[in-house]
Amino acid sequence: MNRKDFLQQTALAGLGFVGGLTLQNSFFRQNPGSDTAKNWAWVTDTGGSTDEWKSRLGKLKSSGIDAILPSGNFESIIPAAQEMDIEVHAWKVCLQRGGDAWAHENHPEWFMLNRKGESSLDKPAYVDYYKWLCPSREPVHEYVLNEVDELLQYAELKSIHLDYIRYPDVILPVALQPKYGIEQDQEYPQYDYCYCEVCRAKFEDQQGIDPLDIKKPAKHQAWLEYRYDQVTTLVNKIALKVHAQNKDLTAAVFPTPDIARSLVRQNWPDWDLDALLPMQYNNFYNKGVSWIAEAARQCRVELPATTPVYSGLYIPEMDENQLTKAYENAMTGGAAGVSLFTDTAMSEGHWTAFNNIIKKE
């Protein structure tokens, strides 16, 4: 289901206010690739008092950061960010629920099953925290939307920022496979999600076939699109809620539309987002930093001209020179700025290089 179809259906069904789905905030009216860049940082280690955050954010602001993405401690962070003139966007993990003990205990049926019938709750792929809620289930939608409601109580937030809004990696990025001692030359059943009873019943009702009876699921377009649409529907429900409160919706997504669709069933060009932060972590794909320009261009091809892209950069694998070149490549590819993962991964040398390249803009 594409964005236009979703909006038409939800409007007819009376699901909520759709007038707010336009780009209502001047924050996102910047032209992608314009001379005025905006730069972000995902921030970790979010504990600390407001005074401690004033010191931390003062350094970020002086180094060229305009927006931060914390996952909590908003009571302390927001006052400090307001004083430093830095925007705060709530970093919200959505479907990956490795640490959600309440859901583990109370709703084990909500978790995705792979093609072998194994629950991601009991036998997660790759790492122990890879326990994933199924986006085909309406109670899961309600659960996530209620959490979004809680974040919307913070009036000062600029956006709700969605992360892990996808399926588990059916194929890991190529550079990560050796780290887990695996080789994925094709889609394998233990990494292919979701085949729970809800997914199977809904798809069979639509297409007349049980997904488990599909001989080549990796090539079955209807089954691929069914899963794209489950995530898209959830995202666009969140968009209706967020936009009705005059806030914006952003997301961390896989680096290009094709990679997102093929590796994690994430068709983000159909999402009603106000800005995207694609994780263009070049080293994950055995690419040099020059690849970031091409990745940014591919994003721009499938997005409206008014939707900015901020290239996500993976700092732990970059030296100062690579960071400078990564920034330049992102802007060459049409990005409106970059987002650093993370602020705590930045060395003094990184900050100096980043500040220097910002001043050249």
pLDDT digits (tens, 9 = 90+) for 274-326: 999 999 999 999 999 999 999 999 999 999 999 999 999 999 999 999 999 99
| Residues 90, 81: Cα–Cα separation, whole Å | 13
β pairing state of 337-341 and 310-314: parallel
Task: Judge if 89 and 116 occupy the same domain.
Answer: no
Find how far residue 296's CA is from the centre of its chain: 15
Identify the sign of the CA torsion 284, 287, 292, 294: negative
Query: Does a structural domain hold residue 257?
Result: no
| Residues 300, 335: Cα–Cα separation, whole Å | 8
Query: Does a structural domain hold residue 1?
Result: no
Query: Does a structural domain hold residue 20?
Result: no
Task: Judge if 202 and 332 occupy the same domain.
Answer: no
Tokens of 82: 């307001």
Task: Check residue 331 and give its pLDDT.
Answer: 98
Task: Judge if 231 and 105 occupy the same domain.
Answer: yes
Which H helix or E strand runs over 67? strand 67-69
Task: Judge if 222 and 108 occupy the same domain.
Answer: yes
Query: Does a structural domain hold residue 347?
Result: yes
Which of 100, 41, 97 is CA-nearest to residue 65? 41
What is residue 193's three-state secondary structure?
Answer: strand
Tokens of 214: 């599909």
The tens digit of pLDDT for each residue in 11-58 reads 333 333 222 223 333 333 344 444 579 999 999 999 999 999 999 999
Give the angle 160-165-167 at the CA atoms, nearest 5°.
Answer: 175
Q: How many domains does the chain have?
A: 2
How is 126-139 classified by DSSP, letter by letter?
SSTT--BB-TT-HH
pLDDT of 103 over the 50 cut = yes
- What is the chain's mean pLDDT, rounded? 92
Q: What's the CATH number where 306 sits? A: 3.20.20.70
pLDDT of 9 over the 80 cut = no
Task: Judge if 122 and 206 occupy the same domain.
Answer: yes
Query: Does a structural domain hold residue 284?
Result: yes
**Domain end position, chosen among 193, 213, 248:** 248
Query: Does a structural domain hold residue 46?
Result: yes
Q: What is the pTM of this model?
A: 0.91
Task: Judge if 110 and 88 occupy the same domain.
Answer: no
Task: Check residue 49 and give its pLDDT.
Answer: 98
| Residues 5, 266: Cα–Cα separation, whole Å | 17
Task: Judge if 72 and 177 occupy the same domain.
Answer: no
Task: Check residue 359 and give its pLDDT.
Answer: 85
Task: Judge if 151 and 73 occupy the same domain.
Answer: no
Tokens of 184: 């994925």
Which of 95, 110, 73, 101 is CA-nearest to residue 162? 95
Tokens of 27: 């924050």
| Residues 197, 136: Cα–Cα separation, whole Å | 10
Task: Judge if 209 and 286 occupy the same domain.
Answer: no
Percentage of the chain exceeding pLDDT 90:
89
| Residues 147, 164: Cα–Cα separation, whole Å | 15
Query: Does a structural domain hold residue 357?
Result: yes
Domain with 330, as residue range(s), is 36-93+274-361
Task: Judge if 87 and 139 occupy the same domain.
Answer: no
**Domain end position, chosen among 184, 213, 248:** 248
Q: In what order do the strands lie in the sheet with 40-42?
A: 275-278, 248-253, 159-163, 87-93, 67-69, 40-42, 337-341, 310-314
Task: Judge if 146 and 174 occupy the same domain.
Answer: yes
Query: Does a structural domain hold residue 75?
Result: yes
The tens digit of pLDDT for each residue in 188-213 reads 999 999 999 999 999 999 999 999 99
| Residues 31, 224: Cα–Cα separation, whole Å | 33
| Residues 96, 110: Cα–Cα separation, whole Å | 12
Task: Judge if 48 and 176 occupy the same domain.
Answer: no
